[in-house]
Structure 1
Amino acid sequence: MSDPVPEGSARDAAAAVWRIESARIVGALARYTGDFALAEDLAQEALAEALVTWPRDGVPREPAGWLLTVGRRRAIDAFRRRAGRDERYAALAHELGEGGAATGGEPAPEGDDLLFDPDRIDDDVLALIFVSCHPVLSREARVALTLRVVGGLTSDEIARAFLVPTATVQARITRAKKTLAAAGVPFEVPPATQRTERLGSVLNVVYLIFTEGSSASSGDDLIRFDLATEAQRLARVLSRLVPDQPDVHGLLALLELTTARFPARTGPDGEPVLLEHQDRGRWDVAAIGRGRAALARAEGLGRGLGAYGLQAAIAERHAVAPSVEATDWPRIVVLYEALGRLAPSPVVDLNRAVAVSMASGPAAALPIVDELESSEVLAGSHLLPSVRGELLVRLGRPAEARQALELAVARCGNERERGVLRRKIADLDGA
């Protein structure tokens, strides 16, 4: 241990180590114990121990290893209590070192046992991701569990991000652990026969986290940078752990190309700036480069682009265009048509309508929107009347446009987006 440090500095150090290393710590403990729920609890207990010990004794030279050792010793304590009824626990306690004393507030020793096994880290983290995103869990549970055990976010942070009570997040995580235990989900990277299907669930969770971050469904902020950044980090981790899957690189490309526009998407007061008014000089050139490189890797695997890759290809067309007018809208229409065949969705059809309106005019796009409206597949969404109102404005039908935009305002849950819609209505009134 080093010398004592101020409590605030020690807490900051613990938080930083936890955010970076929590997935590795929980993954290693899950491999040691064979119990995913127990591993997450042990890791949390180790973090709590650090918050007490580090201000007193100083931050250790290997802080992540310190947390892992404390978690392992607490596991030994648990195994000893259960050893009478389960020989496996007794054997594992012996394997982890019967000579090690229970922590009980005692500092963890420095030494080789603190180090992660570099040959197992990637497998541990990948297994952790697959377990957290297991299809047996509900979508909300997958998101909460992934952000907790893979992203290292606290329940309070997750609750603030999704504007729900902390108790709701905690209940979702608790239910998720019980569901995984009841279903007998093993802590392992799934076999090759299941990996592709399970990977789709993993990518969907990362995409959902990013979508909520990039266009918040409710609240006062248009972008929730913490969620978007965490999803981006998870996608980068996956691209290293599963480098032979084009969908992984396609998702990473989509996230990089989308975040590249973040600096120009809001004004000084946080108000949304529409694409046609954005200062493209503020777009993140480095992120565009990373996104295009990831898209090239997805294409280079030779298996064609999946849904995420096609969306990334659309984002790339925007990223390389000098203006809205100079954008290759016909190519974007083709990409949306391909996406609609591969992953049918009313939102894809709505986005295709926008592209059609730019490529061929609003009159060509309005029938697509009217068909979506009559089918009621987007009932309750503000996106459909918002697009319809914009098309009607361009067609010179202000009364109908106003009606559509007012409906969009009523349905919209994000205050920033409502402001944009209200300004459009005000523009109609002033015309």
Structure 2
Amino acid sequence: MNEVLLRSLTPSVLGILVRRGADFAAAEDAVQDALVEAVRVWPAGPPRDPKGWLVTVAWRRFLDAARADAARRRREDLVDEEPAPGPAPAVDDTLQLYFLCAHPSLTPASAVALTLRAVGGLTTRQIAQAYLVPEATMAQRISRAKRTVSGVRFDQPGDVATVLRVLYLVFNEGYSGDVDLAAEAIRLTRQLAAAIDHPEVAGLLALMLLHHARRATRTTPDGSLVPLAEQDRGRWDTKSITEGVEILQAALARDRLGEFQAQAAIAALHADAPTAEETDWVQIVEWYDELARLTDSPVVRLNRAVAVGEADGPRAGLAALAALDASLPRHAAVAAYLHERDGDLVTAARLYAEAAHKAPNLAERDHLTRQAARLNARRCR
């Protein structure tokens, strides 16, 4: 059973049903039923035309549901209009589905869930396990999302930037349950890149590949975080790095710089350094300047302060940090690191402990707690 093939066909099959007149919510349910049936019967005898098979089965499932609907007159019209089995149309509505699932009327959480189900072909159970919520809760979220977009015209122009933000949210969830969300986000972004020629789509794909290349070295076997400077660069995935850099270079050559391209450029400079000491921090600061100009984000300026501290010394980094709001997430952690680099271990230990108290997850909290304990132990020697 080729699960990757099944999931790659999902958006085009769904698009065909919508163009035949099925409303989005009913079409999506029918496609999910067809996928379940394919998992059941294909191992014994895979069809010669997988896409055509899915379209035929999904359309019949939709009609079965329509027969149980109260609108009998429209239902009978649809039955009369049932296309004969045969090759599926060549039209590809993948891009329109991305736009629909990332519609501005949806919350980010709903857009992520609907994208994973309608475009990614994941089951509700898989999505619920990945996000550590009950299946019933995820089912309700997806149902509400489908109702919200049910009245949106399928051919309505969409916003690429919104789609990219949704895909990046998926990527940052990493791995949970039996679904590798980071790998799924990369697959969906590749699919989007094949559907639209856009430098920011390429920039996001490059960024994902460059970050994903370091995945195996980010944590120890017991789940402890490993800072970038301490990661074993010999274990980084050079194939993903090479691909990411090539995609980025092609995007940058178009001279339409965007947020994801700038982030990917920073990731590429880290990936290019043979050792942490050989990192080109001066150029990274320049890219953070570009990113700050593009986004005006305080989080970007926080990360820039770290880069300035590496390029021009910790006191320069602390000066850049002083201009930022101390309530920013991870502000205390950055301050702790820069104070440690400056030799002020007492202040650094206190700030590491403060940062641990505010940490958004257990792994980060434990890492920061260990940093504080390490400095306190050094002071007591």
TM-score in terms of structure 2 length: 0.90
Change over 3 Å in CA distance of 1:18–1:417 after alignment to 2: same
Specify whether residues 289 and 48 from structure 1 end up closer, same or farther in structure 2 by C-alpha distance, changes over 3 A only: closer
Q: Alpha carbons of 1:233 and 1:47: their partners in 2 closer, same or farther (altered >3 Å)? A: closer
Contact 1:14–1:50 (8 Å) recurs in 2: no
In the alignment, does 2:347 pair up with 1:400?
yes
Shift of 1:301: 2.5
Q: Distance in 1 between matches of 2:271 and 2:347?
A: 33
The residue aligned with 1:139 is 108
| Offset at residue 15 of structure 1 (A) | 4.9
Q: What is aligned with 1:237?
A: 191
Shift of 1:66: 2.6
Question: Which residue, out of 64, 70, 78, partners 2:57?
Answer: 70
Question: Is the contact made by 1:317 and 1:327 (CA closer than 8 Å) also made in structure 2?
Answer: yes
Partner-residue secondary structure (3-state), 1:372: coil
Match of 1:210 among 150, 171, 174: 171
Alignment of 1:286-297 (within 5 A): 286-297=239-250
CA contact (8 A) 1:251 1:309 kept: yes
Contact 1:144-1:172 within 8 A present in 2 as well:
yes
Rounded to whole Å, the distance in 1 between the matches of 2:138 and 2:66 is 29
Could you tell me which runs of 5 or more consecutive residues in structure 2 were left unpaired when the two chains were aligned.
Answer: none
Cα distance in 1 between the residues matched to 2:106 and 2:286: 35
> Contact conserved, 1:33 with 1:75, CA < 8 A, in 2?
no
After superposing the two structures, state which structure 1 stretch, 336-345 or 15-24, moved more.
15-24
Aligned length: 377
From 29, 41, 45, the counterpart of 1:41: 29
Indicate if the aligned counterparts of 2:173 and 2:181 stay in contact, CA closer than 8 A.
Answer: yes
Indicate yes or no: 2:313 matched with 1:361: yes
Matches within 5 A, 1:219-230: 226-230=180-184
Uncovered stretches (5+) of structure 1, i.e. residues with no partner:
1-12, 101-111
Aligned counterpart for 2:16 among listed residues 6, 12, 28: 28
2:220 is matched with which residue: 267, 273, 277? Answer: 267
Q: CA deviation at 1:212?
A: 2.5
1-structure distance, mates of 2:312, 2:202: 32
- Give the CA deviation at 1:359: 0.2
Distance 1:74 1:164, change over 3 A: closer
Q: CA deviation at 1:224?
A: 10
Give distance in 1, aligned partners of 2:30 and 2:80.
Answer: 18
Q: Distance in 2 between matches of 1:207 and 1:323?
A: 28
> RMSD of the TM alignment (CA)?
2.5
Paired with 2:17 and 2:9, the residues of 1 have a C-alpha distance of 12
What is the CA distance between 1:204 and its match in structure 2?
0.8
Does 1:372 pair with 2:341?
no
Structure 2 vs 1, CA of residues 391 and 224 (structure 1 numbering), >3 Å: closer, same or farther? Answer: farther
Aligned equivalents of 1:52, 1:327: Cα separation in 2: 52
TM-score by length of structure 1 reads 0.80
Write out aligned runs for 1:20-419 (5 A). Answer: 20-50=8-38, 58-79=45-66, 84-86=72-74, 90-97=76-83, 113=86, 115-118=87-90, 120-121=91-92, 124-181=93-150, 184-188=151-155, 190-191=156-157, 195=158, 198-213=159-174, 226-243=180-197, 245-302=198-255, 304-374=256-326, 376=327, 378=328, 381=329, 383-419=330-366
Structure 2 Cα separation of the partners of residues 162 and 211 of structure 1: 12
